[in-house]
Amino acid sequence: MNRTISLVLPLALACACGDAERPPSGRSETSLEVVVDGEADLPFDGGLAEGQLALTFDDGPDPETTRRILATLAKHGVLATFFQVGIHVESHPEITREILAAGHSVGSHTWDHPDLTQLPLAEAIDEVKRGVAAVERASEARVHDTFFRFPQFASSDELRAAVRDQALVAFHANIVTEDWLTPDPNELLAKALAAVDAERHGIVLFHDIQPQTADMLDAFLDEILARGYETVVFRPKPTLASLGAARGIRVGSYLAATDHPAAFPVARRELNLYTMPAFIDIVHPAPHTFDFGVVDRTVELAPVSTVMLGHCLVYCDPVTAWIAEGSFTGAELEEILVDHVTTVVGHYRTKYPGRVVAWNVVNEPFSFTGDGCPWNRIGLEAGGRELDYVRIALRAARAADPDAKLYVNDFGIEALNAKSDRMLRLVGDLQREGVPIDGVGFQSHFSIGEGGPFPSPPPIEQMVANLNRFSAAGLETAVTEADVSIRDADVSPETLAEQAARFQDLATACVSADRCVAFITWGVGDADSWIPEFFPGFGSALLFDRAFRPKPAYDAVADALRVR
């Protein structure tokens, strides 16, 4: 009998796990899965029912003892959770991957196992983040690792709040075997069984760096299964990022370090891509002057499993004041453009290698003609075309980072229409001219109801057919700025349900298209939406409300991403 049962475990409440189907004998062929849901610490006993045991192993991985423990667990069909120390993970990343490949869960246990309460808060947080980063790098994760255990269980209210802010769930244990104090395997076996029988349920703490633990584990598992205990393995609740990862789709949001602080724990937990605000007026505020502060902080606030889409290198609105008001010739503007693209892309390739995986190099190229966009003068004054600057920018970006994907991004191209035809012609021309272009971003700003600032989304079938026109040309596609706004006076359960249906259509179109690689919203929660500022009287446009609680649209997108 191969059994995988998922039970949702609210962290503040005990799980009613005792009603789950039990094996017909004392031995199960796999452990019961319990899904951890919530933002508070897990209870010391994991909220488990009588007779349920969750095995956990700290301080590894170790190339000898961890592998012996894995072999013994496999022999008994038991799954466990391993809380790993960053310096050991960095030395043996392949073992972390072996643990995950065997079906176990993995969490972090700081970088080098200090007592965090003895460190300044900033250093303690860095210890936590470095440990998480090591696990995520080793596991080659596309999603944030959310399980964490304090070394020696030493914590404080301030530390626990900081851990929650990193979207981590803190684990404890109510059955502490003290294997590090008990070098004799037989003595440890007796001690561990006595501790289990005293508690009768909960989280068991071992250490996979202890040889005596590896020595006694086979007999320990034989005995607890013979006594009728059931083993449990904890799993993180599925998130938008994990659901998308199963389909090869990154799920993200526009996010700046200056956004609402409550957005960041949600983003760390739910997303694995941030669109970072690299607008020219932010990063290039004056001639020969670059300021990467806000954008750098955005990258640094993200887990290492989260990648960045840079937005955007070249845009006619906004153009920083010194360019818009300057009397530059087309040739001078070309020099400014190449220097800007080279400097910005080169900065992120050098400072954060591998983190910025794509750039919206040019945003909305069709919206500004003639003198409406200074960049147009580059081609027009040289006897060329308005959009020659697009070609120059793409070539400069490729030269600055040969590994990053290069996109052109626009609105109103989601349906089969004249504007999407024009975009298809543009990228076709670029390809024929040998200009580097890897993808097209479909902004996907929409509204529901009468008089909204944007149209309703196109039918799923039409959007899929349109996306596939671009993939047939060898290009990636991405939904890059999705929101579905509602008139403030019309917000109701009914309109939120309609909004959810439209978001589900957009996500379903991305899932159904041949090469749609990302689904991104323009903001995490309604508190950070751009809609109310630019279109007064409208808002409520995103997946999370103003308090960053999930809306029906969140569930709809999750449902669209879920593999069936």
Catalytic residues: 364, 481
Q: Record the tokens describing residue 454, joined without a space.
A: 């944007």
Q: Residue 483 pairs with which residues in a beta bridge? A: 445
Angle between helices 211-226 and 65-76 (to 10 degrees): 10
- Sorted by sequence, the CB contacts under 8 Å of residue 524 that are 6+ apart come out as 253, 255, 259, 263, 266, 267, 271, 542, 543, 544, 548
> How buried is 432 (Cβ within 10 angstroms: 0-12 exposed, 13-18 middle, 19+ buried)?
exposed
Name the one residue in this structure whose structure tokens are 């999930």: 550
Q: How far apart are CA 196 and CA 53, in angstroms?
A: 8
* Cβ-based neighbour number of residue 113 at 10 Å: 17
The CA radius of gyration of the chain, in Å to the nearest whole number, is 26
Q: How far apart are CA 352 and CA 256, in angstroms?
A: 16
Q: Record the tokens describing residue 358, joined without a space.
A: 């794509």
State whether residue 464 is helix, strand or coil. Answer: helix
Contact 165, 324 (CB under 8 A): no
Contact 542, 526 (CB under 8 A): yes
Q: Residue 186 pairs with which residues in a beta bridge? A: none
Q: Residue 550 pairs with which residues in a beta bridge? A: 544
Find the length of the chain: 564
Q: Record the tokens describing residue 387, joined without a space.
A: 């959009």
> How buried is 42 (Cβ within 10 angstroms: 0-12 exposed, 13-18 middle, 19+ buried)?
buried
Contact 73, 101 (CB under 8 A): no
Neighbouring C-alpha atoms within 13 Å toward the C-beta of 509? 27
Helix (H) or strand (E) holding 7: strand 6-10
Burial 308-323 (b: 16+ CB within 10 A, else e): bbbbbbbbbeebbeeb
Contact 359, 403 (CB under 8 A): no
Q: How far apart are CA 551 and CA 496, in angstroms?
A: 8
Angle, CA of 474, 479 and 480, to the nearest 5°? 110
Q: Record the tokens describing residue 466, joined without a space.
A: 């349109």
Q: How far apart are CA 244 and CA 356, in angstroms?
A: 19
